[in-house]
């Protein structure tokens, strides 16, 4: 027995010594044939499985865009649903290639967790939801309230800051899963449900009577939400970042899912460079020349993604606001492809 155990132990130990340095994430992804994308466990409009089990939403479409850029196919993708608490560990450990799960870009996360944030796909802020029947019009009337939220979020910290700064009492009830937060709030455990404003609109759809709840006007924080990748692979970071910029540039240049093919023949050099008929932009990040064309054919431009998932005509009914292009009074702005 001893004779067999010892070599096994020794070789296991050697295996651990060889550090986990991989080739590049992009090469790994190409080799395995799909992008592994970390999403939420269900936030309608952002990442939510439909009744057939297909994931849909703004965060999901962003991942599909990345998959389309790499493989020319927005379905070359697998999803890993993650709670707020699990998400960073999943990314750090390499279980997922990209985290696209209403995640706020903060300095701590950017500098100490080994993460990089390629861009902001949704500018948000934290809000409060209460029952209409309470007759409350402002967050300043919330002193003494019980507040339900999810653990492992920026939300938890913002509430603490806000109530302390305003010298108001509160009680925080923090659950691990979003579904339990909603259930507990729905059951009356809390007066207030707080998270990113977009999340409030999304989760309101899950309540017994969505019409009985209102979102208060105060927005108490900045929540720039976007994808995250590991920070030991700059090449992959650039891929994700330029997919995001391609989505914005496409909207700005009027390239849509419907007209992308024919826009290839357009006069504008900007469009030509974006769609790969001019220059070597795709190959400069390790992708094909028509990377952006594939992205837009798969999911449309940023505006189309927004409107399809969370826009005014969806149950969430969110207007573009800050998320409009800079040319329309918003702050979504992308450097040029050139």
Partner 1 sequence: MAIQETARTPDKASVLNDPKVRGWIYQIVVVALIVWFGWEIITNTAENLKARNIAGGFGFLNINAGFGITQSLITYSELSSYGRALVVGLLNTLLVAGLGVFFATIFGFLIGVARLSNNWLISRIATVYVEVLRNIPLLLQIFFWYFAVLRAVPNPRDSIALPGDVFLNNRGLFTPRVIFEEGSGLIGWSVLAAIVVWIGIYFWARRRQEATGQQFPVFLSGLGLLIVLPILAWLVTGMPLSLETPELRGFNFVGGTRIIPEFVGLLLALSAYTAAFIAEIVRAGIMAVSHGQTEAAHALGLRNGPTLRLVIIPQALRVIIPPLTSQYLNLTKNSSLAVAIAYPDLVSVGGTVLNQTGQAVEVIGIWMAVYLSISVLTSMFMNWYNSHIALVER
Ligand X SMILES: N[C@@H](CCC(=O)N[C@@H](CS)C(=O)NCC(=O)O)C(=O)O
Binding site for partner 1 (CB under 8 A): 2, 6, 9-10, 12-13, 16-17, 19-21, 84-85, 88-89, 92, 108-109, 112-114, 142-146, 148, 151-153, 156-157, 159-161, 164, 170-177, 180, 183-184, 187-189, 191, 230-232
295 binds ligand X (CB under 6 A): no
Q: What DSSP assignment string belongs to 151-217?
A: TTSHHHHHHHHHHHHTT--EEEEEESSHHHHHHHHHTTS-SEEEEEHHHHHHHHTTSS-GGGEEE-S
Q: Which residues of 101-120 are buried (b: 16+ CB within 10 A; e: fewer)?
A: bbbbbeeebeeebebbbbbb
The structure tokens listed for 151 are 């653990």
Cβ contact 65:243 at 8 Å: yes
Among 103, 249, 294, 332, binds ligand X (CB under 6 A): 103
- Using CB under 6 A as the binding rule, whether residue 100 contacts ligand X is answered as no
The two structure tokens encoding residue 48? 């939510």
Residue 276 near ligand X by CB under 6 A = no
Measured distance CA(13)–CA(7) in Å, rounded: 10
Q: Of the ranges 1-9, 28-36, 102-110, 238-246, which one interacts with ligand X (CB under 6 A)?
A: 102-110
Adjacent-strand bridge partners of 131: 213
Residues 71-90 touching ligand X, rule: CB under 6 A, are: 83-84
Number of residues engaging ligand X in binding (CB under 6 A): 20
Number of Cα atoms under 13 Å in the Cβ half of residue 21: 3
Give the largest CA-CA distance in the chain.
76
Whole-angstrom distance, CA of residue 224 vs CA of residue 197: 12
Mask of contacts with ligand X, 139-178, x by CB under 6 A?
-----------x--xxx----------------------x
Interacting partner of 8 out of ligand X, partner 1, none (Cβ under 5 to 8 A depending on kind)? none
CA 234 to chain centre: 19
Cβ 38 to partner 1 shortest distance, Å? 14
Among 26, 37, 43, 66, binds ligand X (CB under 6 A): 43
Using CB under 6 A, which of the segments 25-33, 35-43, 258-266, 287-295 binds ligand X?
A: 35-43
Binding site for ligand X (CB under 6 A): 40-43, 83-84, 102-104, 150, 153-155, 178, 181, 195-196, 199, 223, 225
């Amino acid at each position: 027995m001893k004779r067999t155990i010892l070599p096994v132990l020794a070789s296991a130990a050697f295996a651990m010594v060889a550090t986990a340095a991989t080739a590049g994430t992009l090469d790994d992804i190409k080799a395995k044939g799909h992008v592994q994308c970390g999403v939420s466990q269900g936030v309608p409009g952002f990442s939510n499985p439909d009744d057939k089990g297909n994931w849909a939403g703004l965060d999901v479409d962003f991942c599909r865009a990345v998959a389309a850029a790499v493989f020319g196919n927005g379905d070359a993708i697998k999803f890993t649903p993650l709670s707020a608490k699990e998400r960073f560990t999943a990314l750090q450990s390499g279980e997922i290639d990209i985290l696209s799960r209403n995640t706020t870009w903060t300095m701590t996360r950017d500098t100490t967790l080994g993460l990089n944030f390629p861009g902001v796909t949704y500018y948000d802020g934290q809000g409060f939801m209460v029952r209409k029947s309470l007759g409350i019009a402002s967050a300043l009337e919330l002193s003494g309230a019980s507040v339900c939220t999810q653990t492992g979020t920026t939300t938890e910290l913002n509430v603490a800051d806000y109530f302390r700064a305003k010298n108001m009492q509160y009680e925080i009830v923090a659950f691990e899963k979003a579904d339990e937060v909603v259930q507990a709030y729905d059951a009356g455990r809390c007066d207030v449900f707080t998270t990113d404003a977009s999340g409030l609109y999304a989760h309101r759809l899950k309540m017994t009577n969505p019409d009985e709840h209102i979102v208060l006007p105060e927005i108490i924080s900045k929540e720039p939400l976007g994808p995250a990748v590991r920070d030991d692979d700059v090449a992959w970071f650039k891929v994700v970042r330029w997919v995001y910029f391609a989505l914005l540039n496409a909207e700005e240049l009027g390239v849509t899912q419907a007209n992308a093919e024919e826009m290839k023949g357009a006069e504008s050099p900007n469009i030509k460079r974006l769609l790969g008929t001019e220059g070597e932009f795709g190959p400069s990040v390790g992708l094909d020349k028509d990377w952006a064309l594939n992205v837009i054919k798969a999911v449309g431009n940023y505006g189309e993604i927004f409107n399809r998932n969370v826009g005014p005509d969806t149950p969430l009914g969110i207007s573009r606001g800050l998320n409009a292009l800079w040319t329309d009074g918003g702050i979504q702005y992308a450097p040029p492809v050139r």
